[in-house]
Chain A
Amino acid sequence: MLIEFICNGKETRVDVPAEMRALDLIRNELLLTGTKCGCSKGECGSCTILVDGDPVCSCLLLAPKLQGKEITTIEYLERTNGELHPIQQAFIEEGAVQCGFCTPGMILSTKALLKKNSAPTVIEIEEGLSGNICRCTGYTKIIKAVQSAALKLQGAEK
């Protein structure tokens, strides 16, 4: 099935079986392996991508659902000059990355959250990240990283 969509700012056309999951399309066909596969059940959030700006689990999405959509994977956050995105910087500075398996999903959920709510409370951060599980860093540092990212982004706007 021919599917056309915008992936990380680029017009993309692929011909894939209709039963292919968006996750497999992204990792195996587009070779964007920053998107991870943890559970394949919508529970861990490591496969999170943004579709038209909203976080979704790419393991529960069939590829045809990308038709006409604009998607963002973790690879698109790095600036063209090679600098990291402020959210990525905040995660590093706060030590919010250990094995890193959850990190792409955490960062994309953070991006969507901060776009809607530029100064979230701790509870709002917990809600915003409730679809992402981290099994090693623990959540304290991740929440701190989101708070710090919020400040960086607010600063950048001024």
Chain B
Amino acid sequence: MQYFLPATLKELLLVLDSESKSEIIAGGTDLIIIMEGSGERPEKLIDITNIEELIGIKEEEYGISIGAATTIAKIAANSSLPCCLRSGANSIGSPQIRNVGTVGGNICNASPCGDTLTPLICLNATLLLRSVNSQRLISVEQFFLGPKKTVLKKNEVLSEIRINKEYLSGASGFRMIGQRNGQVISQVNLAVWLQRSKESGLIEEIRIAAGSVAPTPVRIIEAEEMLCNTSPEPELIHRAALLVQASITPIDDVRSTAQYRQDVIIGLFGDIMTQLLKEPQSC
């Protein structure tokens, strides 16, 4: 196996274009486990963590840009990012995993339980995918095709994640249930972002996304519609929670049962909503 550490994005894109049997490695926290498990090695591993253009969190005119190779630890610690994304990041693995794992790796690994995915869906994030002679912006919702399957082409890299200004204001939260504090892969995770009218206090826009409950993380539009233009009381929040429950299709797997996921999501939703309406700033 060859190991390649390009120093610039341009160099990376050229290599990606020419090598068919190459594979990108960022932190490697997903990839190494897969490689060690299967015993298979790609002909060439291309490490993207030396490329400065892919690292860091920057303010831009449209909002915020996050380099794909930014570590999960840096995301969790950055106070200019919305609550749901920071707490999603903070719930990943342990300090050791967060210091190495990257947000781009979490996205491209496309696990239904990836803990930054539902926050990014709530924040209506867009992904910049680049190849040597083109680039495209795609909504994060459109990126996932199934477990471990994305729209990413062989010669493309996810270079940055963009969040627009309007989603940087408003309140957001994230909750997950896992089996052991610290190093848990979530059995269910849920993120909510909402914006209330300054005058009336009504919810102007709300986005809800759930993870580990379907082959890809899912947005729950029916519940969003029910809560839009309301100032929800506990009874309405509960009715919306039932809608959330009805729109997920979890399975039994090694981590949990479908029934448990169905049951627990009601509590998670109630919990986030109550917090967002009462103390939207606590993160």
Point out residues on A near B: beta carbons under 8 Å: 1, 17-19, 21, 40-43, 45, 48, 51, 54-57, 59-62, 64-65, 67, 109, 112, 126-128, 130-132
Contacts and interface: CB of A to CB of B under 8 A. Distances in A.
Contact of A18 (B1, B29, B94, B95): B1
Given A65-B28, A131-B183, A45 B47 contact: no
Given A42-B29, A60-B28, A65-B47, A130 B95 contact: yes
A46 to B, nearest CB: 11
Contacts of B35: 19
Nearest to A113: B95
A50 to B, nearest CB: 10
A18 B2 contact: yes
Interface string B1-30: 111010000000000000000000100110
Contacts of A59: 32
Interface stretch (B53-61, B96-104, B128-136, B203-211): B96-104
Contact of A130 (B1, B32, B36, B181): B181
Given A19-B41, A65-B28, A130-B181, A45 B94 contact: yes
Task: Give the interface residue-count category, chain B.
Answer: 20 to 34
B146 interface: no
A130 B99 contact: no
Contacts of B2: 18
A4 to B, nearest CB: 13
Contacts of B93: 42, 131
B1 A19 contact: yes
Interface centre among B5, B41, B96 (most CB of A within 10 A): B96
Interface in B161-219: 181-183
A127 B184 CA distance: 13
Contact of A55 (B5, B28, B33, B99): B99
B5 A67 contact: yes
B73 A54 contact: yes
B262 interface: no
Given A18-B45, A126-B181, A130-B182, A64 B94 contact: no
B33 A48 contact: no
Contacts of B159: none
A64 B49 CA distance: 11
A128 B28 contact: no
Nearest to B42: A19
Interface in B36-55: 36, 41, 45, 47, 49
A61 B100 contact: yes
5 contacts: A54-B99, A57-B97, A60-B33, A130-B95, A131-B97
B95 A41 contact: no
Given A60-B33, A126-B181, A131 B96 contact: yes
Interface centre among B3, B33, B93 (most CB of A within 10 A): B3
B94 A60 contact: no
Contacts of B33: 41-42, 60
A130 B93 CA distance: 9
